[in-house]
Structure 1
Amino acid sequence: MTIIKKDRRRLLKKLATTTASLPFLSQLPSLGAAEMPRKRFITMFTPNGTIPEEFFPSGGMNNFTLNKILKPLEPIRDELLIMKGLNNKIPLPGDGHQRGMGGLWTAAHLTNGDTVSGGNPAAGGVDWASNISIDQYVANQIGNDTRFKSLEYGVKCGSPDVWKRMCYKGKNQPLEPEMNPIAAFDRLYANGAPQTSGGTADDQQARSIRLASVLDGVLGDFNRMRSYLSAEDKVKLERHAEAVRDLEKAIEVPELGMECDIPTKPGTLNLNSDANIPALGKIFLDLMVSAFACDQAAVGSMQWSYSVGNNRMPFIGVNSGHHGMSHEPDNNQEVKNKLIKVNTWYAEQFLYLVQQLKATPDPAGGGSLLDNTYVIWGNELGKGNSHTRNNIPFVSAGSAQGYFKTGRFMTYNGLNHSRLLTTIAKAYGGNVDGFGDYTEGDIPNLRA
């Protein structure tokens, strides 16, 4: 098994007692001298549907023409896979937005409950999605030997409910996106960056060691208690133990190699200001690329707002709420033009992320980060004013080390979007016939 840089360094420290022996040991193949770049994966979400006729290209699979909304992606045309005609088919309970958001990356029905107001009273209301999301499935495949199993970032994602969360560790287990860029930076680099407060790096390392010792004791207590618990309580205990293990990894002092440039710590921004959406988003995208380059994570998600999110975008001259505009009829050309501007701006953010990945060398060699990454951008609705979950706009970039054949516009006729998620799962080593509620196989012609 290949040993990645961080773990290899630690093993060498344990084995090598003198500096003279280190060069010899570091060249042994069994210690990972020949390292392979790891695969990486990112999901990106934008809300409230799109304008299909201005979103999807015209033309054929290879000779397509990008229309208004995706026109900014022309510079990365050869890296794209644009998919038309994929439907989110999950059934009741839940309204269109709820099923769209909860099912986007899970392809699974929502559970009955009363957590969310405005659900489906006839079916008893809704709680959360009933399955793991594709990002967390992939994280379970490739994220166990990085410091962070996955990174969830978001801009103005709101308080927790099924309209506002897209990542799930499992049934009824939504993950919170980090919406504060300073907290996101500190989680990645507080122990590896120049200190501005809170003591010296040595002080922080000592605190981390003490906390790790406490967490080890907690896990020991958990293990001793297992034999006394019911099966149901054992499941709950394991969830807590997993959270403790994640925390234990998070407080480790990172061993960042010379190839890793620590970014500048962001300043304070008003997280609730619509005017700050671009600045907040750029910080999170930069942090994600940096974390990949520093080999701290291999899986990430970027959530722009949320289903029914009503943000305004004064930075592009749109001062009407996004969700409200998305409900306007098709013949309101003024609003339609504003929605095109909103969705075009989101396309520009996708472009920025992909270009940053493309410009960043992979820390293990073998090309850029993008060469080893698959980035998928999706939406909870196909069209806002009809709440349809048919023809969901999906755009991806990167081949995940050649697994996906890029530079194409693929058209389907109502194919279940679970088949896209199945294809992604297989790209990262999953031995699956389906995903979520469905076992309909993958989309074979997406592969190279």
Structure 2
Amino acid sequence: MFTGVGPNGVKRGDDIHNTISLDQRVAAEIGGETRVRSLTLNSSNGAASLSWNNKGIPVPTTRGRAEVFRRLFIEGTATEVARELDRLAHGRSILDDMRDQLKSLARDLGATDRERLDVMQTSIREAEQLLHQEEAWAEKPKPDIDAKESEFSGKDSSWVHGDNRWYQLIRLALQTDSTRVIVFGIGEHNPTGVPGLEIGHHDASHHGKNPEKIEQLARYEMKDYENFAGFLDLLDETKEAGGSLLDHTQVLLASNLGDASAHASNNLPIFLAGGGFKHEGHTMFDEENNLPLSNLYARMLQKFGIETDSFGSSTGVLSEFG
């Protein structure tokens, strides 16, 4: 979804050789300036990661709000901080041992195995960078906020309630500059606790043009957009120097399917808000010859101040808005 790897000729999932995702490309540039390089979150258990590093390895996903809250806002005791520093030092030692072992292996490997070894070495380097970043922040005080962990823990009354609590936590993470890069995967929903919903989300999305299922799908999607609109309001209400948090945050809502019933990945519904763009409402593109979504990603990277004219399978930079 966010790597922009071209689908042409792909017949099986294992034909895809993924590469870095949009969020990790941004995190590589600005992630070192905050406590957390990036957050990869998901509201659904078992859902695949949306973030990938530059070797096409998925970035682990966090699915617990309370875990995220504690990581960002709960101060450890002196003993806990010391234990955390010991853990990081131990992690560094393990990585050093792994690097030495890989160097020994490299002498006896063929070309194919050397490529695999390169992937492992890249993962080790990235892990080292994260360890150094965590060490640098371990003894710095965390932001003082009014919210409590109990506001984000416990069982949700419905997925609408749960996703709203995720959005509130994401706003806090951005507002306190604890991180500047977040991916939030919204999983499949169930009808429990939501008036008007009678069948499962997946069942509704594979409607086969059944009007009753389409009506149910519309209800699900309306709730999703109401949640998302509430999130944009939260960002807009959060004032910062020179504007609002929304003015300073690129917010992308996207789906990998234009028609889930047909598993069609063309004519995708894409929503971009905030970020200082000159938004012009709903923009339609050629429905027969779709522009690569990566053209938009390249434009977003430029807005971050990253000098690039391409990303993934882009054929240019989207210029239809400022």
Q: Which residue of 1 aligns with 2:43?
A: 155
SS in 2 for 1:281: helix
Q: Which residue of 2 aligns with 1:108?
A: 5
Q: Which amino acid aligns with 1:153?
A: L
> Alpha-carbon deviation of 1:392?
0.5
Q: Which residue of 2 aligns with 1:62?
A: none
Q: Which residue of 1 aligns with 2:154?
A: 269
Aligned runs of 1:337-348 on 2, under 5 Å?
Answer: 337-348=215-226
Aligned runs of 1:277-426 on 2, under 5 Å?
Answer: 277-305=159-187, 309=188, 311-330=190-209, 332-362=210-240, 365-398=241-274, 400=275, 402=276, 404-413=277-286, 414-426=290-302
> Alpha-carbon deviation of 1:146?
1.1
> Alpha-carbon deviation of 1:165?
2.8
Q: Which residue of 2 aligns with 1:140?
A: 28
Q: 1:219 to 1:385 in 2, by over 3 A?
A: closer
Contact 2:293 2:314 in 1 (8 A): no
SS in 2 for 1:430: coil
Contact 1:142 1:428 in 2 (8 A): no
Q: Which amino acid aligns with 1:179?
A: R
Whole-Å Cα distance in 1 between the matches of residues 141 and 239 of structure 2?
19
SS in 2 for 1:315: coil
Structure 1 unaligned blocks of 5 or more: 1-103, 113-119, 193-200
Q: 1:209 to 1:385 in 2, by over 3 A?
A: closer
CA deviations over 1:252-302 (Å, ceiling 9, x no partner): 144345xx52521036434xx7x5323332232222211112211001011
Structure of greater relative contact order (alpha carbons < 8 Å, 6+ residues apart): 1
CA deviations over 1:91-141 (Å, ceiling 9, x no partner): xxxxxxxxxxxxx211114799xxxxxxx8xx5652765121111111112
Q: 1:240 to 1:127 in 2, by over 3 A?
A: farther
Whole-Å Cα distance in 1 between the matches of residues 309 and 229 of structure 2?
32
Whole-Å Cα distance in 2 between the matches of residues 173 and 110 of structure 1?
18
Whole-Å Cα distance in 1 between the matches of residues 208 and 20 of structure 2?
35
RMSD, matched Cα: 2.9
Q: Which amino acid aligns with 1:286?
A: Q
Structure 2 unaligned blocks of 5 or more: 107-113
Which is further off, 313-322 or 290-299?
Answer: 313-322
Contact 1:191 1:204 in 2 (8 A): no
Q: Which amino acid aligns with 2:309?
A: D
Which is further off, 180-189 or 204-213?
Answer: 204-213
Whole-Å Cα distance in 2 between the matches of residues 304 and 291 of structure 1?
18
Larger radius of gyration: 1
Pairing 1:190–2:71 present: no
- Greater helix share, 1 or 2? 2
User: Out of 303, 306, 311, which is 1:430 matched to?
Assistant: 306
Contact 1:131 1:168 in 2 (8 A): yes
SS in 2 for 1:411: coil
SS in 1 for 2:285: strand
> Alpha-carbon deviation of 1:377?
0.3
Q: 1:208 to 1:324 in 2, by over 3 A?
A: same
SS in 1 for 2:33: coil
Q: Which amino acid aligns with 2:178?
A: Q
Normalised to the residue count of structure 1, the TM-score between the two structures is 0.62
Q: Which amino acid aligns with 2:315?
A: E
Contact 1:293 1:360 in 2 (8 A): yes
Whole-Å Cα distance in 2 between the matches of residues 111 and 387 of structure 1?
16
CA deviations over 1:344-394 (Å, ceiling 9, x no partner): 1110111121111112233xx332211111101001111122222221001
Q: 1:389 to 1:318 in 2, by over 3 A?
A: same
Q: 1:268 to 1:367 in 2, by over 3 A?
A: closer
Aligned pairs, number: 308
Contact 1:135 1:301 in 2 (8 A): yes
Q: Which amino acid aligns with 1:236?
A: M
Q: 1:110 to 1:180 in 2, by over 3 A?
A: farther
SS in 2 for 1:344: helix
Whole-Å Cα distance in 2 between the matches of residues 238 and 262 of structure 1?
40
CA deviations over 1:215-273 (Å, ceiling 9, x no partner): 4544555676776563643541331232243245346144345xx52521036434xx7
